[in-house]
Amino acid sequence: MEFLTDPVGAIARLLTDLLTRAGMPAPVVNVVLAAIGVVIIATFCLLLPLFLIWFERRVVARMQDRVGPNRVGWQGLLQTIADAIKLLIKEDITPIGADVVVYNIAPILSVIAVMAMWAVVPFAHNIFGVDLNVGALYIVAVGSLGTLAIMMGGWSSNNKYALLGAFRTVAQLVSYEAPMILSLLVPVLLARSMSMNTIVQAQDVWFIVSAPIAAFIFFVTSVAEVGRTPFDLLEAESEIVAGFHIEYTGMKFGMFFVAEFLHAFTVGALTAVLFLGGWRGPGAEQAPLLGVVYFIVKAFAGYFLVILLRAALPRIRIDHMLDLNWKFLVPLSLAAIVFVAVTDKAVQQYAPGLGSWGRAGILLLANLLLAWLTFRIVAGMVRRMRQAEHRNLDHSVPPADREGAHGHGPEHAHTAEAHPAAAH
């Protein structure tokens, strides 16, 4: 019964008792238990992409009216393992003139950066790596290491196309961190804590109800941070020949893709923790393993949406991508913080007895008001841009053609066309 209510604690107490009886001092026992926890989380992170790659191939194949991998193993489940074996036995090549140390560290760092995020992700109320009181800040800090790994790989490869992919890293990933961090502040404000587990426990009503705009911004910017479609300009095979990892072979090449698929699932997991209630659900407090199931289902729902975006949307131009970030997402995220903070403080001050659903409803109304104002502003900007384009078009058309085009009668257009001298 103790294992069902606290599985990690029960196993930790059993191992502590065994190691203590073997004569191991308490500090060493703590180190051993921490190492076992790291190995468990790392193993989960390294094995999960084997399934994710198969799952994504099958989903995209169904969307594109194809079958997908179905030959190696039942329903093609062993296809990813065959691909991993192929990468392991391929020749390892280091380009002439490459910075060998940086070149070889980059793929390892890209995987470590994503794995380290999972240290603070709560699987259940008492199943997590570590409950940092600055967990949200830790996620942002560790995630930036992945950006650094891509820059290192592109710069050290001694290849102009790889270097161009690294330059795009600076333009894209560093830029999209700004609205991502701003949107991350919204659940921190609502939960009054940066601890990931506390944020989950504060969601009597999911924060996606209280702050849908922040959830939307966080999800979109996180997809851009991964470099997935439609933000896959880091590799852009039609423009820069696979980009930052063009010179990598074998398992070094594979490690970049392990990091990408794991990071894509991590986006779904973080969205679940911050906005979808994480492990919370009926009976999750009494049965932590049931909370793990809730968390995994929500994380896969977010990951499934990432797959749909990849299969449905084309790659956008880099100037459009940066315009979307700096001219739309950053101002909107700043406005979302102000709207949520002011509304939540007003509810706390003037209507403290509303309860969780009342608070969530008022915050939802504030978000809908912000969405309506955003729509009106964007629609006005688009209208003015179209009017300016029409004016520029009118000025570029000769007067005679303009008269015919503006409908002064077909006979006028015919006369001007038949008698150029008269038109002049």
Query: With b meaning 16 or more CB within 10 Å and e meaning fewer, what string describes 207-229?
Result: bbbbbbbbbbbbbbbbbbbbbbb
* pLDDT confidence tier of residue 172, bands split at 50, 70 and 90: confident
Share of residues in the chain with pLDDT > 90 (%): 33
What is the domain range of residue 407? 389-423
Same domain, 225 and 276: yes
Share of residues in the chain with pLDDT > 70 (%): 91
For residue 372, is it within any domain?
Answer: no
When pLDDT is averaged across residues 216-237 and rounded to a whole number, the result is 83
For residue 67, is it within any domain?
Answer: no
**DSSP-assigned letter for residue 328:** I
Same domain, 262 and 179: yes
How far from 5 is each of 30, 273, 424, CA to CA, in Å? 22, 21, 92
Beta bridge partners of 124: 127
Q: Which of 350, 380, 398 is the last residue of a domain?
A: 350
pLDDT of res. 422: 43
Q: What end-to-end distance do the CA atoms of the chain give, in Å?
A: 97
With tokens 């992945």, the residue in question is 146
For residue 377, is it within any domain?
Answer: no
Same domain, 307 and 406: no
- Is residue 26's pLDDT more than 60? yes
**DSSP-assigned letter for residue 124:** B
- Is residue 396's pLDDT more than 80? no
pLDDT of res. 416: 43
Same domain, 186 and 234: yes
Whether residue 230 has a cis bond before it, omega within 30° of 0: yes
Backbone angles phi, psi at 77, to 5 degrees: -65, -25
Instruction: Out of 2-11, 25-34, 138-147, 408-417, pick the least confident.
Output: 408-417
10 Å CB burial of residue 87 (0-12, 13-18, 19+) is middle
> What would the DSSP string read from start to end of 135-151?
HHHHHHHHHHHHHHHHH
Backbone angles phi, psi at 25, to 5 degrees: -65, 155
pLDDT of res. 404: 55
For residue 214, is it within any domain?
Answer: yes
Per mean pLDDT, which of 17-21, 151-155, 344-348 is the most reliable? 344-348
Distance (Å, whole) CA 222 – CA 216? 10
pLDDT of res. 76: 87
Instruction: Out of 16-30, 107-121, 329-343, pick the least confident.
Output: 16-30
Q: Which of 350, 379, 411 is the last residue of a domain?
A: 350
Instruction: Out of 115-129, 158-172, 207-221, 372-386, pick the least confident.
Output: 158-172
The answer to whether 139 and 270 have CB atoms below 8 angstroms apart is: yes
Q: Which of 303, 325, 350 is the last residue of a domain?
A: 350
Instruction: Out of 89-93, 234-238, 326-330, pick the least confident.
Output: 234-238
Same domain, 325 and 393: no
For 128, the 3-state DSSP assignment is coil
Which residue, among 189, 136, 220, has the nearest Cα to 339 in the 3D structure? Answer: 189
When pLDDT is averaged across residues 221-244 and rounded to a whole number, the result is 78
pLDDT of res. 145: 87
Same domain, 238 and 293: yes
For residue 47, is it within any domain?
Answer: no
Mean pLDDT of the chain: 85
For residue 166, is it within any domain?
Answer: yes
Same domain, 289 and 337: yes
How far from 343 is each of 362, 366, 369, CA to CA, in Å? 8, 7, 12
When pLDDT is averaged across residues 164-172 and rounded to a whole number, the result is 79
Q: Determine the residue type at 300.
A: F
pLDDT of res. 402: 55
Same domain, 308 and 205: yes
Q: Determine the residue type at 371.
A: A
CA angle centred on 309, ends 250 and 191, rounded to 5°: 100
Distance (Å, whole) CA 50 – CA 69? 13
Q: Determine the residue type at 237.
A: E
- Is residue 146's pLDDT more than 60? yes
- Is residue 41's pLDDT more than 50? yes
Same domain, 287 and 398: no
Same domain, 175 and 317: yes
Distance (Å, whole) CA 267 – CA 306? 8
For residue 154, is it within any domain?
Answer: yes
For residue 186, is it within any domain?
Answer: yes
- Is residue 406's pLDDT more than 90? no
Same domain, 299 and 202: yes
Distance (Å, whole) CA 111 – CA 46? 9
Same domain, 414 and 341: no
The count of domains in the chain is 2
